[in-house]
Structure 1
Amino acid sequence: MALPPAWQRFWHWWQDQLSQAIPQQLRSWFSHRQPILIALPSEEELQAWQWEGRGQAVPLRPLAQPSGLEAMLSSLRARESAEEVSFTLVLLPGQYLRKTILLPSAVEENLRQVIAFELDRQTPFSADQVYFTSRIVERLPASRQLKVEIVLTPRAFLDAQLTRLHQANLKPHRVDAALLEGQTPVPLGLDLLPSRWRPRETRWQKRLDWSLAGVLAALLGLALALPLVMQHRILSALEAQVAQLRKAAQASSALQQQVTALEQAARFGITRKQATPPMIVAIEELAQRLPQDTWLTGFSYRNGELRIDGSSPNASKLIEILESSPIFQNTHFVSPVTQDRNTGLERFQISMTLGYERDAPK
């Protein structure tokens, strides 16, 4: 779709700014990209303009005959060392018909065929009487319609103008409709040039087009492949870093496990030592707790269990007395209490575990 006139002026200005950075010897290769505009207001008059640096078309000089323009363009070719100068035939207001219509969005794929059928109804002409072109101005999703601009000109009129120019050895590469801003034409950015009037490309032009297409394809391929290559390199570098960090993490985890095991072993030993009173404390506690009339005949300690044997007038009270101690836990008789016939005392065997109350299970 062609650009609007305002955008087209900006496009020419932008091209001119870029061309300033190109050396003069190379700039001449692109001189044909700045088209010369030709208009035939009447059978006797010819007007011409050329785009200047500010993106505006300025008149070359008043000319009355196409042959005069051809002579001037010959000197222009020699001065710019350009083999070919691009001509655009512009149709001035009154030489073309411009109309905007609404069509269903479904016809977009076959827009030209649909417009050809609609010309009889939308214009005074039929499709075989005119050359026409079109472009979509706006899409209206709410109503599912397209706003389409149609530009057409009678076939007989355009053929006559092209014949005059070809007789003067002027072969336009494009036919555009233009608006007038003062005396300066502003092309709409369309092309009404019939296929049979289009200039044939020379062999070197075709080769150049194919070469440029190949370069463009190569650049596009490079532009697509380069990010993938860079991402692959970055991914490989990240994977290597992750592998190194994984090894370091595994080594750190192994060391942490060893440290944890050592801490648990040390904590267990300290806890066991703190939870079990020293034997001297246990002996002293027994001496203070046991009644004066109670005698011990046996004393043993193994794996945290303290066992005492002895005689007492009332052995059943010893359990209660020993359980009141903060370091004796799980106090109980190991065997039934018996009475000594000779002394009349009760013989007992009592077992208990050593441990502070705060460490005893709740």
Structure 2
Amino acid sequence: MSGVRDTLQRFRARFGPGPRSFLAWWGQALATWLPARWRVLLGLTGDRLLFQRQEDEIEMSWLEGTQRHTLARLPATVTADELRALLGNRLAGVPRWWLVPAGMALRRRLLLPAAAAERLRDVLAFELDRQTPFTANEACFDARVLGVRGDGQLEVELAAVPTVAFTSGLARLGGLADGMAGADVEDAEGGILGLNLLPEAARVARQAPQRGLHLALAAVAVVALVFAAWAVLDNRRAAADAFAAQVDSRADAARHVAAQRQQLVDLVTGTTVLNQTSARRPTALEVMDDVTRRLPDNTYLEKLAIEGDRLTLIGFSPEASGLVARLQGSPLWRNPALSGALQPDPRTRMDRFTLTAELLGKQDPAANPQGDANAAGRD
């Protein structure tokens, strides 16, 4: 208990009155008016109060930089007014965050292009249904950049919680559920990931304790900013035009990449179909070998043609009428037949014939022992 009491006293002393320079006090006051994302980028984020449901109680912790200190365990029925009375009016502006338990969030590590850093959340909204079982409308999610690889790719960690489970878990805080500035995720070692899963529409911005004085100081700062911005207005416009051109070029590049990807998919699909078709058909060498074995030695071929699934033989033979019987029973074709009438050739004293057959797919020779036996007998 003494440790918790000392932590509470140090927490109050940190936010209580003390000798601070005017510039530091003014800078902190102005920082409270900046959007949350700007404060994170500029390193102006202050301490947080973390709340997590533990059985029948709510654990309140203080996040000081990267250090987490347990302050107290509150009853589950505590209200926002009771919490404000416990902390004091001077601490009312400290942002309150829900600490999502480690087992509730689904975490994935991804590799993304360096260009994705500028619009990381938008990119992850498209990737969410591929990396998790949820879509962007079915989950509360956020991500953090872990580092940059040597090839320029970003190592990103994504955390997502189904919206139903997120809403149910937040509701377990009771009266403290409203007024949260964010929802971070606890890792397995009790650390904080540094994310914010709470939808932006539900976030409560931190209010400065002395709002009236801050408004006056902000007005002075705005006047000074107007004079400073007037001098750099043209540069800002040029930067905006350059950014718009960059966005357009990246959009064109993305469309070009999508078209190339579709061409690649079509090419792979066509190659696969062609390979499968070729694998099912006998090769020309196999057909010629089987024809040679089945035709008698006194038969000469003038033409052997394979067109699709059709085999055509044109030649001369003194036994042309019996060639159909010799070609039957082959595992490579079926329905051999004479096409047209036999034409006697007075020069060779043989009959000129035209035979056709329908090619079959490849078969295991062991599956047709009878056809091989017949062919061997005719040879």
- TM-score class normalised by the smaller sequence: 0.3 to 0.5
**TM-score, scaled relative to structure 2:** 0.42
